[in-house]
């Protein structure tokens, strides 16, 4: 059968892609503008990156503070949400019985709630409810991390559960048949098999955290807890803002795309590697354990 090449669809698709990407490219290009304008091109320069002694992103401390705070939050979010989410994914995938349905539903709540609802609720609980543990969470870095972990957790669970489903239970069963304890099988067989998914979800959490605006803004306290997206929000419309803002946004985009790109490559690379190497290695190691 002949599948004709649909010219209109080709045109629509490439027009869409141009529409989606060209404005981003233009915004990045404007970080190299020689003049102050963010809408009129006045020639190429590195003025807003490094050249200007006070207003460039290299020399204006506001920008580096925002960048450092964004990276700090992303690091903390990764460090907390990843282990919590991996354990939750393993637990939810295996635990059958009363309460498991409710727990599965609960895990989906952050994915289907508009962010502003979550942000308002968290703000109210941290400012109005005076019982432990809510009194321990102060607006600022702590509350920002708590908020970010709360919405990142579900993504980790979704990614890790997908991998768990594709691994199946056979490898662990084999390990147990060879004499491993449940936790031995988990540590020696399941965790190495999950490694690509864990790495991928870490980097996705990093990207989610770096890009988040609503929850991070609601949980912030003062100028010291400003992140890059918050800085972009409060200065994007200002008449006095320079193309250094575009440079800051460019850094944000490259950091995010780098994280996602590494996640993607790692997932593909380790995914292939574990299927051939780690599984048989772990099983060989365990069979040794079983005989001694």
From 44, 101, 120, 280, residue interacting with other proteins (rule: CB under 8 A): 120
Q: Which is nearer to other proteins, 12 or 68 (CB)?
A: 12
CA atoms within 13 A on the CB side of 25: 6
User: Which CB sits closer to other proteins, 5 or 54?
Assistant: 5
Site size for other proteins (CB under 8 A): 91
Q: Does 37 bind other proteins (CB under 8 A)?
A: yes
CA nearest neighbour of 230 among 244, 215, 246: 215
Interface with other proteins, residue 157, by CB under 8 A: yes
Cα(89)–Cα(100) distance, integer angstroms: 12
Q: Is 149 in the site for other proteins (CB under 8 A)?
A: yes
68 binds other proteins (CB under 8 A): no
Q: Under the criterion CB under 8 A, does residue 275 sit at the interface with other proteins? A: no
Q: Find the shortest distance in angstroms from Cβ 181 to other proteins.
A: 8
User: Considering beta carbons, is residue 10 or 277 the nearer one to other proteins?
Assistant: 10
| Distance, CA of 118 to CA of 233 (rounded, Å) | 19
Query: Any contact of residue 246 with other proteins (CB under 8 A)?
Result: yes
Query: Residue 187 has what DSSP assignment?
Result: I
Please report whether residue 36 would count as binding other proteins according to CB under 8 A: no
CA distances from 1 to 4, 5, 7, 12 (A): 9, 13, 18, 25
Diameter over CA atoms, the chain: 76
17 binds other proteins (CB under 8 A): yes
Task: Calculate the CA dihedral of residues 15, 16, 19, 25 and round it to 10 degrees.
Answer: -100
Distances in Å between the alpha carbon of 173 and those of 1, 11, 51, 193, 263? Answer: 47, 53, 62, 14, 29
**135 in contact with other proteins (CB under 8 A):** no
Q: Which is nearer to other proteins, 68 or 277 (CB)?
A: 68
Closer residue to other proteins in complex, CB, 20/165:
20
Question: What is the Cα–Cα distance from 282 to 194, expressed in whole angstroms?
Answer: 13
Q: Shortest gap between Cβ of 277 and other proteins (angstroms)? A: 26
Site track 173-202 with other proteins (rule: CB under 8 A), x = hit = x--xx---xx--------------------
In the region spanning residues 48 to 67, those forming contacts with other proteins, defined by CB under 8 A, are none
């Amino acid at each position: 059968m002949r599948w004709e090449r649909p010219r209109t669809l080709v045109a629509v698709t490439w027009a869409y892609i141009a529409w989606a990407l060209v404005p981003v490219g233009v915004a990045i290009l404007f970080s190299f503008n020689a003049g102050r304008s963010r809408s009129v091109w006045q020639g190429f320069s590195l003025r807003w990156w490094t050249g200007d002694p006070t207003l460039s992103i290299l020399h204006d401390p506001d920008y580096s503070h925002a960048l450092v705070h964004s990276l700090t939050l992303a690091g903390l979010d990764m460090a907390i949400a990843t282990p919590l989410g991996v354990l939750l994914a393993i637990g939810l995938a295996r635990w059958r019985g009363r309460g498991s349905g409710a727990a599965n539903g609960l895990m989906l709540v952050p994915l289907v709630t508009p962010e502003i609802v979550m942000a308002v609720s968290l703000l109210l609980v941290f400012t109005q409810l005076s019982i432990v543990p809510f009194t321990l969470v102060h607006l600022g870095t702590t509350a920002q991390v708590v908020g970010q972990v709360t919405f990142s957790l579900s993504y980790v669970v979704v990614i890790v559960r997908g991998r768990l489903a594709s691994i199946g239970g056979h490898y662990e069963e084999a390990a147990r048949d060879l004499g491993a304890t449940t936790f031995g099988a988990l540590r020696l067989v399941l965790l190495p098999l999950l490694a690509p998914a864990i790495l991928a979800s870490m980097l996705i959490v990093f990207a989610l955290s770096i890009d988040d605006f609503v929850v991070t803004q609601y949980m912030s306290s003062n100028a010291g807890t400003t992140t890059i997206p918050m800085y972009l929000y409060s200065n994007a419309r200002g008449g006095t803002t320079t193309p250094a803002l575009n440079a800051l946004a460019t850094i944000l985009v490259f950091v995010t795309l780098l994280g996602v790109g590494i996640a993607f490559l790692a997932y593909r690379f380790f995914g292939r590697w574990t299927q051939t190497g780690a599984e048989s290695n772990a099983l060989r190691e365990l069979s040794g354990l079983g005989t001694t």
